[in-house]
Amino acid sequence: MNTLEKNDTKRWFLVKDNGTGEESLQVFGYAGDIGTEVQTNHPILLNWLTEEELQFEVNSIAGSDSYYRDAVETENYKFQLPSQIYEYGLRIEQELPEDIN
């Protein structure tokens, strides 16, 4: 079992399996403030001090320079909020009935 400890100051993390590409990403984002822990049975748990570092790694794995931003702004279920650099759910719009717009 992999653990990101409660007192670890590197709060930006990702969990992935041994595969490659976007599909290998299980969870990524913010681990919560000091006092919160992350535990997983997936083989890889990595963590960083900054969101920018996490973003770089996630984009590298996904093979897209915009994957991380897209994930935040579209509320991708793999992203653990909040983000400090992008607006969560920015591209989620409330839908009105088609006949009323």
Partner 1 sequence: MATTTFTPSQLRGINSLFPYKNYGLWAPEISAGAAGETKFVMEVIIPSDSYLITLPMNSGGVGTNYNVDWGDGNSDLGNTGDVSHTYDTGVYDIKVDGVWAPRLYTNVAIRSVVTKLKNWGKDTTIFTTFDQSFRGLSNMGYEATDYPTLNLAPSVTANYAFLSTPVNTFTGVLDISNWDLLGTTSTMTSPFAVSFQSAAGFTMVGNTINASSTSQFASNISAGLADGEGDININNITWTNSGNLFSFLSSAKGINNVNNWTLKASGTVSVTKIFFNSHMKKGVTSLDLSGWVNTSNISALQETFRNVDFFDSGGAQANGILDITGWDFTNAGTFYFCFYTSRFSEIRGLSGLNTITAANLTGTNVAYMFGQTLHLSFDNYDFPATGFFNKLGNCTNFTSMFNSCGYSRGVGNYGKAPNGIDGLDSSNCTSMQNMFYRARFDTSIDVSSWDLSKITTLQQFMFGIRGTTTLDFSNSGFTNALTTMSDSFRSTELTTVTFGSGTSSNDFSGVTSWTRVFNDTDDLTSLEFPTNMSFASVTSGGMVNFLTDGTMTDVQYDNLLVRFEATNSVNPGGAFRVNAYYTLGGAGETARTALITRGWTFTDLGGR
- Least distance from partner 1 to the Cβ atom of residue 35, Å: 6
Token code pair at residue 43: 């083989």
Q: What is the binding site for partner 1 (CB under 8 A)?
A: 1, 6, 15, 26-27, 31-32, 35-42, 77-81, 94, 96, 100
- Least distance from partner 1 to the Cβ atom of residue 63, Å: 21
Distance CA 28, CA 51 (A): 10
Closer residue to partner 1 (CB): 11 or 69: 11
Closer residue to partner 1 (CB): 77 or 84: 77
Distance CA 76, CA 74 (A): 6
Closer residue to partner 1 (CB): 21 or 65: 21
24: Cβ contacts below 8 Å, ≥ 6 apart = 16, 17, 18, 61
Identify any residues that bridge with 27 across adjacent strands, giving them in sequence order. 15
- Least distance from partner 1 to the Cβ atom of residue 60, Å: 20
